[in-house]
Amino acid sequence: MPSFCRHNRLLANCTICAREQNFEVRPVVSSSAPRSTQPRVRAPRPTPAAPGRARATPRPVAGTRAGGVRVRRLARGADDGYSSPLVPGLRSGEDAARLAGEIGFAAARLELMASVAAGERLQDAPGAWRELVAPDDLGARTERAIEHVLSGPRGIDSEPLRGAALAAARSWGERQGSLATGLAGDPAWAPDRRFDRDFERLGTLHGFTRDVSFELLTLLGGLGLYALAAGQLYLSGENEATWAAKRAFGIGERQLLERRAANLADACEVPLAALDLALHDWGTGARAAGEADADPEVMSVLQRKALHALGVPDPTV
């Protein structure tokens, strides 16, 4: 019959009692579990299931989480004690300065669009913009704008998928009477309401992601084809602008993201729509639009305003 000591162990295995009573401890049977110093033997990969049998659950790919959510690691500037209530998620003055630069560029791009819409500075505008403001059927120009955005940096890489998205837009336009009729909507709508309604409608079409829809409506409104003005950024889902906004504003809740984005735009004295491209480019580290899409002098002025709002020293001073 095994006996236990006061330490609640088998007496024959207790090293304390062995020293006190001067007897030899019995060797403990080792565990069957592998030691940490021993190499682990990986289980063999499951073989494909035979027809009619359940498949084994695939292992998640490196860089993704279960459920297909991709883990993103964003480059960050060094923590230098920077702090601003406008961007509570940032701790780096370098990151804030870079964001100010993208805000200046995006806002200058919108100003150039407005000049082109007014028939000014056409020689400075990209060729695609000049085509969109040229006297022509509004529906045909709208379709060219869709093709331009779908094939752009924030569009669709695959040509067949671009064709499917364009076909979906054409089909929707036919149901509305025409693309121009569908996007114009009710003449009594305010520009921000028209933007909301069009964004919602485009979101139901194949291939029209948040980025594609926002870029398209910004282009159509900026060049004066339709009375459109963004009243929110629609920060949700899996896209660069939303990821960047969550990082900059230090929050993930959509209403707070929108509120903080509006506060930042007001402080920088730029249209809210400018933050769409600014956040996208700041998050990716590369500009989706061409440098020729903005006037350098206007961009410099707007960048200084953004630097001042964010409390970052102007490097040119």
Q: Is 68 a member of any domain?
A: no
Mean per-residue pLDDT over the chain, rounded: 85
Helix (H, G, I), strand (E, B) or coil at 5: coil
Cα distance between residue 71 and residue 62, in whole Å = 9
Looking at per-residue pLDDT, the higher value among 167 and 15 belongs to 167
Sign, CA torsion 264/268/273/276:
negative
pLDDT at 29 over 60: no
pLDDT tens, residue by residue, 260-276: 999 999 999 999 999 99
Domain that holds residue 239: 93-310
pLDDT tens, residue by residue, 71-91: 455 567 788 899 999 999 999
pLDDT band (50, 70, 90) for residue 25: low
CB 198 within 8 Å of CB 186: no
Query: Which residue's entry shows tokens 């230098």?
Result: 80
Its pTM stands at: 0.76
* pLDDT > 70 in the chain, percent: 78
From 269, 314, 315, 274, select the one nearest 294 (Cα to Cα).
Answer: 274
Length of the chain, in residues: 317
Q: Is 84 a member of any domain?
A: no
- Mean pLDDT, residues 28-56 taken together: 45
Q: Is 113 a member of any domain?
A: yes
Q: Is 12 a member of any domain?
A: no
Q: Is 212 a member of any domain?
A: yes
Count the domains in the chain: 1
Cα distance between residue 220 and residue 169, in whole Å = 15
Provide the phi-psi class of 85: left if phi over 0, else alpha when psi is between -120 and 50, else beta: alpha
Q: Is 1 a member of any domain?
A: no
pLDDT band (50, 70, 90) for residue 136: confident
Q: Is 72 a member of any domain?
A: no
Cα distance between residue 286 and residue 105, in whole Å = 12
Q: Is 48 a member of any domain?
A: no
Pick the most confident of 2-6, 33-37, 77-81. Answer: 77-81
Looking at per-residue pLDDT, the higher value among 44 and 209 belongs to 209
The pLDDT of residue 98 is: 97
pLDDT at 46 over 90: no
From 110, 98, 82, select the one nearest 303 (Cα to Cα).
Answer: 98
The pLDDT of residue 10 is: 73
Q: Up-side HSE of residue 104: CA atoms within 13 Å toward CB?
A: 24
Task: Report which residue type is found at 54.
Answer: A
pLDDT tens, residue by residue, 156-189: 999 999 999 999 999 999 999 999 999 999 999 9
Q: Within the chain, how many helices (H) and strands (E) appear?
A: 12, 0
pLDDT band (50, 70, 90) for residue 202: very high
pLDDT tens, residue by residue, 229-252: 999 999 999 999 999 999 999 999
pLDDT at 197 over 90: yes
